[in-house]
Each structure stands twice: as structure tokens, then as C-alpha cells.
Structure 1
Amino acid sequence: MGTFSNKPYGQKSALGPLAAQAKKRPFLVFGLPFLAIMVAGSFGLSQLTQTKFDHRDRRHTKVAKEEALGMDKNRRKLSLQEEYFRLQAQTDDEWEQVRITRPPGTEQ
């Protein structure tokens, strides 16, 4: 059976000075990494957002180019006033009232 190395309790390690500094200044252990993640995340999210807007703009410019080629030459101009009068002129005589049979057990 192997023997354990002889390391008495409290022996100094190579990271001992760093551990002592971390105990004195917790900002180095908690605050600095937190701020680094926040700043890096901000730049990362701005890049993702910019990509989203670029993709949307590219899609809209395609439609604008197709419109420039004359897709809507033969369309008539839409006027709300004309549509209102056209709907008012329609007669309501094109429908007929039909009574449906009631379900069993209901009053007539």
C-alpha cells in the first residue's frame, strides 16, 4: 500500500498569496468577473441585434426593388371615402332570414 506524502496542515502553496489577496479584496473574485461578463454580453447582444436589423433591411430592400420594377402599375388608388360610399351603396337585400331547428328540449 502506498504512503501519503508528508504535507503538514497549513503548508503554504503557490496560490497562497493570491488567496490572501482575494480574501482582502473580494472585488477581484466577484466584481471584476461580473463586470467583464456584463461588458462582453453587451457587445455580443449589440452584434446580434445589428444582424437582426440588417437581415430585416435586406428583406425590405428586395421588396422595394421589385416595386421599382413596376409591380404595382395597374393598381387603383385606395380612398377611404370612396370605399365608405361604395359600402353604403350596397343593398342588404341579398340575404334571407332562415329559421333553424332548435335542439330538442328547448322552448320554441
Structure 2
Amino acid sequence: MGTFTNKPYGQKSALGPLAAQAKKRPFLVFGLPFLVIMVGGSFGLAQLTQTKFDHRDRRHTKVAKEEALGMDKNRRKLSLQEEYFRLQAQTDDEWDQVRISRPAGTEN
């Protein structure tokens, strides 16, 4: 069986002064890391959201380039007022009522 090493009582470790400071000032152990995480997280999230908006803007820029190439030259401009008047001008006589055949196994 191995022997235990001899450590005299009261031997100072390398972290002894740091542990004493932490006991005197708990802000260094709890508060400072909390504030660093909160401020760092805020900057990190800001960077992520900026990346998201940049990606969205790049997508819309591609659509604008396609429009600049003239893909929709022949399209008619849509006006809600014109569509409303066009639908109002239609009469009810322009359609026919057509009976569809019923599925097999159903009654009339």
C-alpha cells in the first residue's frame, strides 16, 4: 500500500491569495463573470442578427437584379381600382352552370 505524502499544516498553495480575495470580494467570482457573459452575449447576438439581415438583403438584391434584366417587361401593372371596376363590369350571363358527375356509389 502506498504512503501518504507529508504536508505540514498551514502550507501555502499558489492559489491561496486568490482564494482569500474571492472570499472577501464575491463580486470577482460571481458578478464579474455574469457581467462579462451579459455584455459579450449582447455583442454576439447583435452580430448574429446583423448576419441574418445581411443574408436577407442579399436575397432581395438578387431579385432586384433579375428585375433589372427585364424578366417582367411585358407584365401589366396591377391596380386594385382597375381590377375592382373590371369585376364590376362583368355580368352574370358570362358563366354556365355545369353539373359534374357524382362519384360511383353515391345517390342522386
Report TM bin, short chain.
0.7 to 0.9
**RMSD of the alignment, in Å?**
3.6
Q: Which runs of 4+ in 1 moved over 6 A?
A: 94-108
Shift in Å, 1:37: 1.1
Specify the SS of the correspondent of 2:92. Answer: coil
Bigger mean CA offset, 43-52 vs 90-99: 90-99
Equivalent residue pairs, number: 108
Once the two structures are aligned, what percentage of the paired residues are identical?
A: 93
Task: Give the Cα–Cα distance (whole angstroms) in 2 for the partners of residues 5 and 20 of structure 1.
Answer: 25
* Structure 2, unaligned runs of 5 or more: none
Specify the SS of the correspondent of 2:76. Answer: coil
Specify the SS of the correspondent of 1:61. Answer: helix
Post-superposition Cα deviations, 1:4-24, rounded to whole Å, max 9, x if no partner, equal 123356543221111111011
Task: Give the Cα–Cα distance (whole angstroms) in 2 for the partners of residues 68 and 105 of structure 1.
Answer: 56
Specify the SS of the correspondent of 1:88. Answer: helix
Tell me: CA distance 1:54–1:11, structure 2 relative to 1, closer, same or farther (3 Å).
Answer: same
Name the counterpart of 1:29.
Answer: 29
Shift in Å, 1:61: 0.7
TM, length-normalised to structure 1? 0.75
Task: Give the Cα–Cα distance (whole angstroms) in 2 for the partners of residues 70 and 48 of structure 1.
Answer: 34
Task: Give the Cα–Cα distance (whole angstroms) in 2 for the partners of residues 103 and 68 of structure 1.
Answer: 50
* Structure 1, unaligned runs of 5 or more: none
Name the counterpart of 2:43.
Answer: 43
Post-superposition Cα deviations, 1:37-70, rounded to whole Å, max 9, x if no partner, equal 1122122112111111111111111111111111
Bigger mean CA offset, 4-13 vs 52-61: 4-13
Name the counterpart of 1:2.
Answer: 2
TM, length-normalised to structure 2? 0.75
